[in-house]
Structure 1
Amino acid sequence: MRQARRPIVAVAATSALLLLQAVIDPTGLLALVGWPGGLPLVELGWPVARYLVFVPVMLAVVWWAAVRAGDRFWTMTAGAVLAALLAQAAGCFAMAGDIALAAWAGGFITAKAVPSALIVAAVVRFAGGPRDLRVHRRGSVWPGAIAFGAMAPLLAGTWWTGAAYAPLIPSPRADSGPVLMLVAVALLVGAGWISLRWMRRRVRGFLGVWLAALVAGGLFGLAQSLIGLVVDDGFAGDLWPLLAAYLHVADGLAFGACTGWIVAVVALVADRVQAKRTVADAAAGTPEASAPSEATTPEAARPAKVVAAAGIAVAVIAVTALAASLVTAASDPATASAAGRPATSAPAEFLRVDHGRIADGDGHQVLLRGVNVNQLVDFYQARPEVPVTRPLTEADFADMASYGFNVVRLNLSWSALEPVQGELDAAYLGTVKRAVGWAKAHGIRTVLDMHQDGWSNAATAEGTECRPGTDPMWGYDGAPEWATRFDGAPRCSFTGRDISPAGDRAFEHFYFDTDGVQQALVRTWGELAGEFRDEPAVAGFDLLNEPGFGETAPVTTSLKLGEFSDAAIDAIREAGAPQIVFVEPSILWSGLGIDSGPSLGFTDDPNVVFSPHLYAESITMDRSLGIPTIVSTERQFELAQRVADEHGMPMWSGEYGYWGDAASIGSRLTRYAAEEDRRMQGSAYWVWKQSCGDPQNGIGEFGIGLVPEDCATGDDAPRNEQLLGILSRAYPQAAPGTLTSLSAGVAGDDGGRMSLTGVVDGPTCGLTVWVPGSAEPTIADSSGLTRLEVEPQPGGWVVTACAEGAYALATEG
């Protein structure tokens, strides 16, 4: 009974913790195994995988850890962390059937696993009974350490990817380059050596080596974090270094947890070989088995052993590097750099992706800058006398053009487009076509955006009792009623519209295609794209606005989001539509400034743009919680570009915006504009007009937006000229070849100041520059340009020219 006391205490503490977290966490986000409410449907599989797979695996490994590693607080902590990560990986594998994704996904539970493990270890320490703190014979170290580092490039999978990995951070991925890969492998070997020497003295056998691999992975993540602090501008003043460090450590822990058993096999085989060799030497009467002399003591022999082991390590690392490089060279180039991709095949008048840029049929780089238009969205209406949208007219597009905008992200509602399953509403479709035509008439391209906020416009049902920590909520917009399944989960919000048990459940059904709901949207995209396949004024299709994370991220936000995107892209192409497809990460990007998906290589279509929403220092969680900035306005561009580069795609921000006091808004938007220009990017501001009845507006005194509404009269309120002055600054709408630099003024007389440089292979016309203001702009400098012309336009001027080779243009307002 004394031997069973400690594992019984550990399992009981873990079980109580799992149950307590499920009860007190109203969303399931902060619990190891959440229960946000509603009925988990056994016949679907994924709703119960968390309970039928996660819980047994965690409890079994906790029992094992308590038996073998429970004598010490820190080894028991490591054992409980291992249990949580393995349980997460097993649960994800049961849901997705993708072993690489499941292994990587284990790290996503780190923030919940570590504090839970500390609690379990503390309970075991004080209630687990007598302890045996003897140290044990260490056994072999080098073979396991070498194996830990050498197998990393071959098993990299999804580990060590994403925004956290700056180009100079060592990563054991062959695609990070041979030097950085070798440095990373060497660091892994070193971390393994340190961890094995420490852990094997305290925890015997197979588990001791496995825990050492777990700890080694964490140490490797810490080493990456320290390097990242230097090479990733970690001193810029935001909290990104801490968040990046967490991601590094989580990746390392997941790698150690999911591959540590391999290290254990290698180490135990090495132990057995060494033991047999010792016995054979003793039987043969060799000097090694006789009484040691001064020259043959272990201390004297150790340097030679270390040198030999180091030589073996170098050889293994070199062989691993060669093998990993060959594997990478032979792999699918779907994730190759976008800079190497030629122009997508499309009719000349359509935009397309061309060598990492958005370009026109003549190869000119195109900057798409404009606004979001939500005036066709089917919003929830809180009060029948307060309209939820403002009428959309041709005058809106003429107005937008007068600010130099050349793109509109037109927000559409699935609920209005397909209120009856299988039938596109002809009247609504006609409204969309009319809007596209108006935009085209004023020189504005349209991105058709399937918009949603909180999944649908369903509000909290009358009589619903929201659990503590959540509140009744309005509906918002998105899917039709026939595509919505809540399963009794409460429509109650936690810190905002996007975290709702009902909304999360509906998204989970969508990702796992319950009742064919995902395929229904895929078919709808095919039909909608088919309606616009011959319309070059449609720049592209934005598949789904800020997709929710469901209940099982990152399975949903990475693998499943990628599967939906790929299917929708296929449907669009099968409909004959050649336009660009804009693919978004989940809502987590808007809230944190980073996200995990969609999975790398989710599509092989070359005409796709990565489109995160860059809301840093605006609506991200740091501002809502009142904590220091997680990701700065400037850094968000770099993080987004890293992920776009991994996908081999250009990057375009489909949404961003700022609210609050005028001074704060102006300052933040000015910084955004400067960084956007420096990176030669485009974007769409949120939002052109927002009605007082829009649920996101909250029925206040004024409807927010660039053109506000006076809620008392329904008329336009005074415009936000400060923001419009920044947004309408001078910029090249199209540039021959490729832009190499861009800067511009942002307000008043300075709004017409602009400087750009570019390079084009051969002589061509096509430079088109917007300059705001009533006074004709002055050409302050030009080179490599001919046929310079300045033509007046409503609200400003358009400068056109032809270019050859390297060229430059500077204007003054």
Structure 2
Amino acid sequence: MKSPVAHRSWVVGAVVLAVAAALLVAVGPEGAGAGRADTASGHRWITDRQGRALVLRGLSTASSAKTAPDGMPWIEEKDVARERRSLGTNFVRFLLQWRKVEPSPGTYDRTYLKRVAERVRWYGERGYHVLLDMHQDLYGPAVGGNGAPAWATGTDGHTSAATDPWELGYVEPGTVRAFDRFWGTADGGRDLRGHYARAWREVARYFADDDAVVGYDLMNEPWGGSVQGPAFESGPLARLYQDCIDAIRTVDRDRWLLVEPSAIGANWGFATGLPRLDDPRGDGEKARIAYAPHLYPLPMDLGGGYTGDTKGQVDASLRAWREQTERTARRLGAPVVIGEFGLDVGLPGAMEYVEKVQRMADEMGAGIAYWSNDPGPWAPWDARMRPTALLPVLDRPAPMAVAGDPVGYRWDVRSRTLSVRWRGTAGVRGGTEVYLPARYFPRGGRVTGGDKASWDAKSRVLVLRSGPGEHSVRITPLG
């Protein structure tokens, strides 16, 4: 669970851990059995309209939208241009606020959606794939968080005080009751989940014909209130997701629908009880549901760096997280997007950690959305828009779209070699696109084992010819 706090003491951290342990009922390995693999490389991929597998790399935009009166992030179009130019990213997780989508029951603010669409266009014109994320933390502003409108916040007179760290706000009485009212686990009340699903339907209706939108992230870091663990994930959360999926599919048959597990536990490497969901498009390859867990190993979520004894603890957490994520993705028949990961870039070992996560994502074939693009201590740029140490770590060579089934790709910084392997499949259009940053490939790339179709020095994108059969290429710097 991301935090704007640069550092928190281990005393406070122990309190957070104790609260989490009291609430968490982890699913054992037997509750997350392996399922059928859907591609030759072992899992599914989010695909574009040409049928190419997308290797999604980007940032979340933006934490500033949570509290802005108009719900808009801090960015202007020039900032989007800078992001593409500086990082070569092809993906953005764009935060929405339910309070702005549906400011009063059954009333949808098309002016807000129009302003979102304007920013989606900024990204789309630069080749980005935009994921619209219905974001919440601590439920909504009426209980000290963001996301839900005041009219959808039922506390039954309970209150919520500000907490330090902010995550402890999840167990404040008013916040717990607001979630219970939303999930329908408290007696009586309105059908708030129905409102939420219909709000998603309106968002999907608005963006159904927008080619820049790749999908919808149905809820950020779900929290079950007084119901936790598999009882929450397989019950109220799964029902909400299914309602949202069914509602969206009445107006948009094509976008990918991303589902997140409960943040407590899954972020740290515990298993999830989230069940397989039904897509009205059909089963197997027809379904377009992806799995989008977040990654915040507990020692780092509590403000620690990647050094000393903490490093070993983080590595163990990463191994557990990967195992549980891959197991769950197989069970759900879903591609994987790491919907969030990040840390204060000034912490010891921070850059080593970020690169380790990126290598892990490469090995998993997972998309990533780093948290976040807000200028400051977690970002590739500081408050004066000067690059931080994070920028060159995120700006790395990678395939962007693969014309077939990716088998593997790897960036070796020591030898300055990007290796990409894939199986070309019938019906896929277009070539395989690869991003080559100027810091490593100032004059472009030399291709060994394949044919170069084109090179665009401005966008830094190399296009490789493709077709049916096996492909294995190595790309090294020219000159």
Alignment counterpart, residue 50 of structure 2, candidates 349, 354, 362: 362
CA distance in 1 between counterparts of 2:363 and 2:29 reads 31
On the 8 A contact 2:139/2:147 being kept in 1, the answer is: yes
TM-score (norm 1): 0.50
- Which residue of 2 is the match for residue 782 of structure 1? 448
After superposition, the Cα gap between the structure-2 partners of 1:486 and 1:703, relative to the gap in structure 1 and judged at 3 Å, is farther
After superposition, the Cα gap between the structure-2 partners of 1:389 and 1:566, relative to the gap in structure 1 and judged at 3 Å, is closer
What are the within-5 Å matches in structure 2 for residues 794-809 of structure 1? 794=459, 796-809=460-473
CA distance in 1 between counterparts of 2:210 and 2:390 reads 32
Secondary structure in structure 1 of the residue aligned to 2:38: helix
- Which residue of 1 is the match for residue 256 of structure 2? 580
After superposition, the Cα gap between the structure-2 partners of 1:660 and 1:680, relative to the gap in structure 1 and judged at 3 Å, is same
Secondary structure in structure 1 of the residue aligned to 2:457: strand
* Residue type of the alignment partner of 2:323: E
After superposition, the Cα gap between the structure-2 partners of 1:397 and 1:612, relative to the gap in structure 1 and judged at 3 Å, is same
Deviation at 1:506, TM superposition (A): 1.3
CA distance in 1 between counterparts of 2:19 and 2:452 reads 63
| Aligned residue pairs, count | 440
Question: Which blocks of at least 5 consecutive residues in structure 2 are unaligned?
Answer: 1-15, 282-286
Deviation at 1:389, TM superposition (A): 7.5
- Which residue of 1 is the match for residue 127 of structure 2? 443
Deviation at 1:623, TM superposition (A): 4.8
1:538 equivalent in alignment to 2:213 = yes
1:427 equivalent in alignment to 2:101 = no
- Which residue of 1 is the match for residue 93 of structure 2? 409
CA distance in 1 between counterparts of 2:45 and 2:192 reads 34
| Highest RCO, 1 vs 2 (Cα 8 Å, sep ≥ 6) | 2
1:510 equivalent in alignment to 2:162 = no
* Residue type of the alignment partner of 1:478: G
- Which residue of 2 is the match for residue 683 of structure 1? 368
Deviation at 1:592, TM superposition (A): 2.6
CA distance in 2 between counterparts of 1:669 and 1:687 reads 13
CA distance in 1 between counterparts of 2:88 and 2:21 reads 45
Secondary structure in structure 2 of the residue aligned to 1:358: coil
1:552 equivalent in alignment to 2:227 = yes
Secondary structure in structure 2 of the residue aligned to 1:482: helix
On the 8 A contact 1:503/1:550 being kept in 2, the answer is: yes
Deviations for 1:378-429, whole angstroms, at most 9, x for unmatched residues? Answer: 4189xxxxx9986321112212221211111000111122222211223211
* Residue type of the alignment partner of 1:369: R
On the 8 A contact 1:540/1:579 being kept in 2, the answer is: yes
Secondary structure in structure 2 of the residue aligned to 1:668: helix
On the 8 A contact 1:590/1:616 being kept in 2, the answer is: no
- Which residue of 1 is the match for residue 380 of structure 2? 706
- Which residue of 2 is the match for residue 391 of structure 1? 74
* Residue type of the alignment partner of 1:646: R
After superposition, the Cα gap between the structure-2 partners of 1:632 and 1:423, relative to the gap in structure 1 and judged at 3 Å, is same
* Residue type of the alignment partner of 1:377: A
* Residue type of the alignment partner of 1:801: R
Deviations for 1:674-730, whole angstroms, at most 9, x for unmatched residues? Answer: 21222222111100115xxxxxxxxxxx56422221xxxxxx24221x322222211
- Which residue of 2 is the match for residue 528 of structure 1? 203
Deviations for 1:4-34, whole angstroms, at most 9, x for unmatched residues? Answer: xxxxxxxxxxxxxxxxxxxxx9x98777xx9
Secondary structure in structure 1 of the residue aligned to 2:338: coil
Whose strand proportion is higher, 1 or 2? 2
Deviation at 1:767, TM superposition (A): 0.7
CA distance in 2 between counterparts of 1:812 and 1:522 reads 48
CA distance in 2 between counterparts of 1:368 and 1:496 reads 30
CA distance in 1 between counterparts of 2:26 and 2:369 reads 34
What are the within-5 Å matches in structure 2 for residues 198-277 of structure 1? none
On the 8 A contact 2:171/2:225 being kept in 1, the answer is: no
1:486 equivalent in alignment to 2:152 = no
Whose helix proportion is higher, 1 or 2? 1
Secondary structure in structure 1 of the residue aligned to 2:372: coil
On the 8 A contact 1:765/1:803 being kept in 2, the answer is: no
Alignment counterpart, residue 60 of structure 2, candidates 372, 376, 382: 372
- Which residue of 2 is the match for residue 742 of structure 1? 409
* Residue type of the alignment partner of 2:295: L
On the 8 A contact 2:43/2:333 being kept in 1, the answer is: no
* Residue type of the alignment partner of 1:367: V
CA distance in 1 between counterparts of 2:25 and 2:77 reads 48
Identical-residue share of aligned pairs (%) = 25
On the 8 A contact 1:618/1:657 being kept in 2, the answer is: no
What are the within-5 Å matches in structure 2 for residues 642-661 of structure 1? 642-661=327-346
Secondary structure in structure 2 of the residue aligned to 1:743: strand
- Which residue of 2 is the match for residue 616 of structure 1? 297
Misfit runs of 4+, over 4 Å? 27-31, 387-390, 601-605, 621-624, 762-765
After superposition, the Cα gap between the structure-2 partners of 1:380 and 1:772, relative to the gap in structure 1 and judged at 3 Å, is closer
- Which residue of 1 is the match for residue 417 of structure 2? 753
Deviation at 1:476, TM superposition (A): 3.1
Deviation at 1:369, TM superposition (A): 0.9
CA distance in 2 between counterparts of 1:797 and 1:602 reads 37
After superposition, the Cα gap between the structure-2 partners of 1:704 and 1:731, relative to the gap in structure 1 and judged at 3 Å, is closer
Deviation at 1:337, TM superposition (A): 2.4
CA distance in 2 between counterparts of 1:603 and 1:742 reads 30
Deviation at 1:362, TM superposition (A): 3.4
On the 8 A contact 2:269/2:320 being kept in 1, the answer is: no
CA distance in 1 between counterparts of 2:213 and 2:260 reads 18
After superposition, the Cα gap between the structure-2 partners of 1:717 and 1:534, relative to the gap in structure 1 and judged at 3 Å, is closer
* Residue type of the alignment partner of 1:676: A
* Residue type of the alignment partner of 1:545: N
Question: Which blocks of at least 5 consecutive residues in structure 1 are unaligned?
Answer: 1-24, 35-106, 111-157, 168-335, 342-353, 382-386, 460-474, 691-701, 710-715
What are the within-5 Å matches in structure 2 for residues 556-567 of structure 1? 556-567=232-243
Deviations for 1:256-276, whole angstroms, at most 9, x for unmatched residues? Answer: xxxxxxxxxxxxxxxxxxxxx
Alignment counterpart, residue 435 of structure 2, candidates 770, 778, 781: 770
On the 8 A contact 1:370/1:406 being kept in 2, the answer is: yes
On the 8 A contact 1:756/1:810 being kept in 2, the answer is: yes
Bigger CA radius of gyration: 1
Deviation at 1:495, TM superposition (A): 5.0
Deviation at 1:618, TM superposition (A): 6.4
Deviation at 1:376, TM superposition (A): 6.3
* Residue type of the alignment partner of 2:380: L
1:161 equivalent in alignment to 2:31 = yes
TM-score (norm 2): 0.82
On the 8 A contact 1:658/1:665 being kept in 2, the answer is: yes
CA distance in 1 between counterparts of 2:354 and 2:21 reads 33
Secondary structure in structure 2 of the residue aligned to 1:449: strand
Deviations for 1:752-799, whole angstroms, at most 9, x for unmatched residues? Answer: 6311111114596411000001612331x532x3343222124x3434
Alignment counterpart, residue 733 of structure 1, candidates 400, 404, 408: 400
After superposition, the Cα gap between the structure-2 partners of 1:740 and 1:355, relative to the gap in structure 1 and judged at 3 Å, is closer
1:793 equivalent in alignment to 2:449 = no
**Coordinate RMSD, CA, aligned:** 3.4
